[in-house]
């Protein structure tokens, strides 16, 4: 999908966002196969705990946004915990690693 850079720029500024990639929606631990803009966050919070400015949009240009919690240690280079994740998650992580503070 050609707009990933724009979606990344739009969503990476939200509090707790680690990375933004294209992938498929995960619901109840099952990959639905539905194309999605996947937003990895350090900690998912209930909507009641978020201010209006912290709520990640549910769609980007009509494409479903899927917010997934990811341990920040999984983004460290050389971490072996990534190899324990399902292949669909490994693929999304391998597509690009970007931490909010600019580390990689």
- Please write the tens of the pLDDT for every residue from 31-44: 899 999 999 888 88
For residue 29, what are the CA distances in angstroms to 25, 49, 86? Answer: 10, 23, 10
The CA distance from 52 to 47, in Å, is 9
More confident residue, 71 or 35: 35
Q: Which 8-state DSSP code applies to residue 80?
A: S
Whole-number pLDDT of residue 59: 92
Q: What is the mean pLDDT of residues 44-66?
A: 90
Query: In Å, how far are 6, 13, 31, 54, 97 from 89, measured between CA atoms?
Result: 22, 22, 10, 24, 13
């Amino acid at each position: 999908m050609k707009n990933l850079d724009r979606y990344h720029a739009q969503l990476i500024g939200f509090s707790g966002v680690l990375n933004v990639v294209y992938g498929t929606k995960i619901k109840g631990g099952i990959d639905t196969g539905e194309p999605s803009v996947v937003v990895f966050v350090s900690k998912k919070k209930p909507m009641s705990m978020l201010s209006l400015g912290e709520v990640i949009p549910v769609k980007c240009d009509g494409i479903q946004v899927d917010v997934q919690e990811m341990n920040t240690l999984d983004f460290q280079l050389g971490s072996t915990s990534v190899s324990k994740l399902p292949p669909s998650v490994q693929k999304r992580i391998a597509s690009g690693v970007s931490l909010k503070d600019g580390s990689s």
